Structure 1
Amino acid sequence: MPDLPLTTLLALSLVSLVAGFIDAISGGGGLISLPALMLAGLSPAQALATNKLQALFGKLSSVRYFLKQGLIAPGKLKLPLLLCFGFSALGALAIQRLSSEVLQLWLPWMIVAVALYVLLSPRLGDLDTRQRIPPLLFGLLVVPLLSFYDGFFGPASGSFFAIGFIALLGHNTAKATAHAKLFLLVSNAAALGAFILGGQVAWSVGIAMACGQWIGARYGSQLVHLKGNKLVKPMLLLVSTLLVLKLALLDGGVMPWL
Structure 2
Amino acid sequence: MLEPAHLDLWLYPVLTVVAVFTGFIDAVAGGGGLVMMPVLLSTPLPPHVVLGTNKVQSMCGTAMATWRYWRAGLFSFRASAPTALVVFVGALIGSLAIQRLSTDVLKLVVPVLLIAVALYTVLSPSMTDDDRHARLGEKGYMPVGAGVAFYDGFFGPGAGQFFTTTLVALRGLGLTRATGLTKYLNVTSNIASVIVFTIGGQAMWILGLCMGAGAMTGAVIGSHFATRHGAKVIRPLLVVVSLGLTGRLLWSWFTG
Give 1:6's aligned residue.
9
Aligned counterpart for 2:185 among listed residues 164, 183, 207:
183
* Gaps in structure 2 of 5+ consecutive residues: none
Aligned counterpart for 1:146 among listed residues 124, 145, 148:
148
> Which residue identity is paired with 1:64?
W
| Matching of residues 164-203 of structure 1 within 5 Å | 164-203=166-205
CA-to-aligned-CA distance 1:70-118 (integer Å, 9 cap, x gap): 22211122321111111111100110124xxx56x77876886677566
Q: Tell me if the contact between 2:30 and 2:238 (Cα under 8 Å) persists in the aligned partners.
A: no
Deviation of 1:134 (Å): 2.3
Q: Tell me if the contact between 2:114 and 2:245 (Cα under 8 Å) persists in the aligned partners.
A: no
Q: Is 1:42 matched with 2:45?
A: yes
Q: Is 1:85 matched with 2:80?
A: no
- Cα distance in structure 1, aligned partners of 2:106 and 2:39: 13
Q: 1:4 to 1:114 in 2, by over 3 A?
A: farther
Q: Is 1:76 matched with 2:76?
A: no
Q: Tell me if the contact between 1:90 and 1:148 (Cα under 8 Å) persists in the aligned partners.
A: yes
* Runs of 4+ residues over 3 Å off in structure 1: 105-121, 123-126, 231-245
Q: 1:163 to 1:234 in 2, by over 3 A?
A: closer
Give 2:138's aligned residue.
135
Q: Tell me if the contact between 2:75 and 2:177 (Cα under 8 Å) persists in the aligned partners.
A: yes
CA-atom RMSD, angstroms? 3.0
Give 1:208's aligned residue.
210
Q: Tell me if the contact between 1:58 and 1:213 (Cα under 8 Å) persists in the aligned partners.
A: yes
Give 1:219's aligned residue.
221
Q: 1:50 to 1:124 in 2, by over 3 A?
A: farther
In the superposition, the TM-score normalised over structure 2's length comes to: 0.82
> Which residue identity is paired with 2:66?
V
- Cα distance in structure 2, aligned partners of 1:239 and 1:152: 16
Q: Tell me if the contact between 1:114 and 1:155 (Cα under 8 Å) persists in the aligned partners.
A: no
CA-to-aligned-CA distance 1:188-209 (integer Å, 9 cap, x gap): 1011101111110022321221
Paired residue secondary structure (2:121): coil
Paired residue secondary structure (1:127): coil
Paired residue secondary structure (2:10): helix
Give 1:251's aligned residue.
none
Give 2:21's aligned residue.
18
Q: Is 1:29 matched with 2:32?
A: yes
Paired residue secondary structure (1:189): helix
CA-to-aligned-CA distance 1:30-51 (integer Å, 9 cap, x gap): 1211121111122221111111
Q: Tell me if the contact between 1:35 and 1:240 (Cα under 8 Å) persists in the aligned partners.
A: no
Aligned counterpart for 2:62 among listed residues 35, 59, 68:
59
- Cα distance in structure 2, aligned partners of 1:173 and 1:32: 23
Deviation of 1:138 (Å): 0.7
- Cα distance in structure 2, aligned partners of 1:210 and 1:107: 27
- Cα distance in structure 2, aligned partners of 1:177 and 1:76: 16
Give the percent of matched residue pairs that are identical in Structure 1 and Structure 2.
32
**Number of aligned residues:** 245
In the superposition, the TM-score normalised over structure 1's length comes to: 0.82
